[in-house]
Structure 1
Amino acid sequence: MQMFLAILLIAAMIATVVALVRGVVTFLKTTEAELKGEGGPSASALKSNKMMQFRIFFQALAILIVVVILFAAGRT
């Protein structure tokens, strides 16, 4: 059980880093006109925002897995 949770934790941490890098790369590709907000939110701004939302989700998942691991370790 502990090994399975450790693998899940590593997967959640990797997913967090991937979402973070993709979000930052997408943000860096935005143009000055997109940053000024001409014409509403651009496709790249929406994608960057979505990647950051995924990052927060994966971070929360990793924290939850750590809590479960600590709880399980405390019971044995």
Structure 2
Amino acid sequence: MTILLVLLLIAAMGATGFVLVKGVIGMAQQKDITGERSQNLMRQRVLFQAVAIVIVMLILLLASGRH
């Protein structure tokens, strides 16, 4: 179970990093005049970060022996 959670954590961290880099590149190119795309990418990044935090909490709960 812990191995699965660690793999999910790595996937969530990778998705967060990917969306972050995609947003930074988009801002550097200055093609998004309205900022709508940047806002959507920021929302996705926050969502992936929240998922990663929940997975870390689950891993810590399992590691502490409390169920």
Q: TM-score, normalised by structure 2?
A: 0.88
| Aligned residue runs from structure 1 range 1-76, under 5 A | 1-30=1-30, 34=33, 41=34, 45-75=35-65
CA–CA distance in structure 2, aligned partners of residues 4 and 50 of structure 1? 29
Contact 1:19 1:54 in 2 (8 A): yes
Larger Rg: 1
SS at the partner of 2:63? helix
How many residue pairs get matched? 65
Report how far residue 14 of structure 1 moved. 0.1
Which 4+ residue blocks in structure 1 deviate beyond 6 angstroms?
none
CA–CA distance in structure 2, aligned partners of residues 27 and 52 of structure 1? 12
CA–CA distance in structure 1, aligned partners of residues 42 and 29 of structure 2? 15
SS at the partner of 1:55? helix
**Percent sequence identity over matched residues?**
42
Report how far residue 55 of structure 1 moved. 0.6
Q: TM-score, normalised by structure 1?
A: 0.78
For structure 1, the residue ranges without an aligned partner over 5 or more in a row are: 35-40
RMSD: 1.4
